[in-house]
Amino acid sequence: MDNLEIVAILTAKAGSEALVGETLSALVEPTRAEDGCISYRVFVSAVDPATFITVETWNSQDEFNEHMQTPYVQHAFETAGDHLTQAPLIHPLSEVSVGRPAPSAH
């Protein structure tokens, strides 16, 4: 079974960039310690300091789902939730194979 690759995009409200960045940074250590986590990285956009991106690799969807229910993730949502322009955009990824067209959005 292939690993689950996920990108999450979070956009901070004006003036809340530091709070959102600190909240996401606090997730790194405990998330990386989870059994199902292969990789977890947090970035801020070089062109928009209000945009934060997590790049994650998990063993399975179930383990990602469990991660989303951990107390520290729930605490992060409570802490940063009102400081985001919208709910986080979570994108599970499917690799585009060489020689095959990307899936159609129609």
Residuewise pLDDT in 10s, the chain (106 residues): 589 999 999 999 999 999 999 999 999 999 999 999 999 999 999 999 999 999 999 999 999 999 999 999 999 999 999 999 999 999 999 988 766 666 666 5
- Give me the pLDDT at residue 95, please: 87
What angle do the packed helices 71-80 and 17-32 form, to 10 degrees? Answer: 180
- Give me the pLDDT at residue 60, please: 95
φ, ψ for residue 90, nearest 5 deg: -105, 120
Side-chain half-sphere of 94: how many Cα atoms within 13 Å?
A: 6
Domain boundaries along the sequence of the chain: 4-93
* Residues β-bridged to residue 55: 7, 41
Residues 67, 6, 100: CA angle, nearest 5 degrees: 150
**What class is the 4-93 domain?**
alpha beta
Length of the chain: 106
The H-or-E segment that residue 88 falls in is: none
Tokens at 44, concatenated: 């801020």
